[in-house]
Structure 1
Amino acid sequence: MASNSSLLALLALRCPRCHQGKLFSHSALNLRKFDEMPEACQVCAQAFEPEVGFYWGAMYISYGFSTVIVAIVGVMLYFLANDPEVWVYVVAVAAAVLLFTPLMFRYARAVMLYAFGGTRYDAGYAPRAM
């Protein structure tokens, strides 16, 4: 069932126009194919790449996500591990960023598409329940 909330649809990685079609073809756990997106929504045929090179801007969003991870891991280590040596910070931050890379990639693209893709939710494109 389609949700009228664009925030919920973004969090579920769904199409910005119909809130039904999946933005990504495979699971985030599939490390070989986690980045594959269909060219268009399977439900409403909305193009997922509005123009060539559209997702270059998602790198800045991903950088912001990485910065938040670095800050959270750093603060947690400082308070929970009693300010360990620098190498512990480096290894922990690198491991956390690598672990979350598939999700950061996906959500950076989704935020980019929702914020700058020029498409808004239209209930007319959502499938009708019978």
Structure 2
Amino acid sequence: MIKKGTKAYSILHRKCPHCHEGEFYEDKNPYNLSTMSPVLKRCPVCDRSLHMETGFYFGAMYVAYSIGVAVMITVWVATLILGLDLSYWTIVFVIAGILILFSPFIYAISKIIWANLFFSYKGVEKTAEELQK
């Protein structure tokens, strides 16, 4: 099992990258298209900021792009391995359909992956360095 304190735990459970207990998103459902998974300003448990600067999560676009490329390559390789004799345009439409169907989830998961690249696990209690500030 994935232990608390690892980046994988924070990503898979979509929890605060600082304490792994508080929620990361205002709405847990990435398919609620009216809100599009906004990230909380501060963690409700450890009260640490989830934003480094204005526009911080624009970098998550690079992660989402990488996930999209991985999905495309996976589908293409799967069609080759399974020996499916699909035309070029059929594969393109299958990949486009999968990406459209999963785009809200990819968008949400890319934000938590991006945050975990920059924030590290500290636990719920404030560190000595944080208390001095």
> Considering the TM-score relative to the shorter chain, is it more than 0.5?
yes
Give the superposition deviation at 1:112.
1.1
Give the superposition deviation at 1:28.
1.8
Taking a change above 3 Å as real, the CA distance of residues 98 and 81 of structure 1, as seen in their structure-2 partners, is: farther
Q: Please, what TM-score do these two structures have when normalized by structure 1?
A: 0.83
Q: Which amino acid aligns with 1:94?
A: A
User: Which residue number in structure 1 is paired with residue 13 of structure 2?
Assistant: 12
Q: Please, what TM-score do these two structures have when normalized by structure 2?
A: 0.81
Tell me the distance in 1 between the aligned counterparts of 2:15 and 2:9: 9
Q: Is the 8 A contact 1:14 1:20 kept in 2?
A: yes
The number of residue pairs the alignment matches comes to: 123
RMSD of aligned Cα (Å): 2.0
Matched, 1:69 2:71: yes
After superposing on structure 2, the runs of 4+ consecutive aligned residues of structure 1 that deviate more than 6 Å are none
Q: Is the 8 A contact 2:46 2:124 kept in 1?
A: no
Give unpaired runs (5+ residues) of structure 2: 127-133
Q: 1:90 aligns with which of 89, 92, 99?
A: 92
Kindly report which structure 2 residues correspond to 1:1-130, keeping only aligned pairs within 5 A, or say none. Answer: 3-26=4-27, 27-80=29-82, 82-116=84-118, 119-125=119-125
Give the superposition deviation at 1:81.
5.5
Tell me the distance in 1 between the aligned counterparts of 2:12 and 2:125: 19
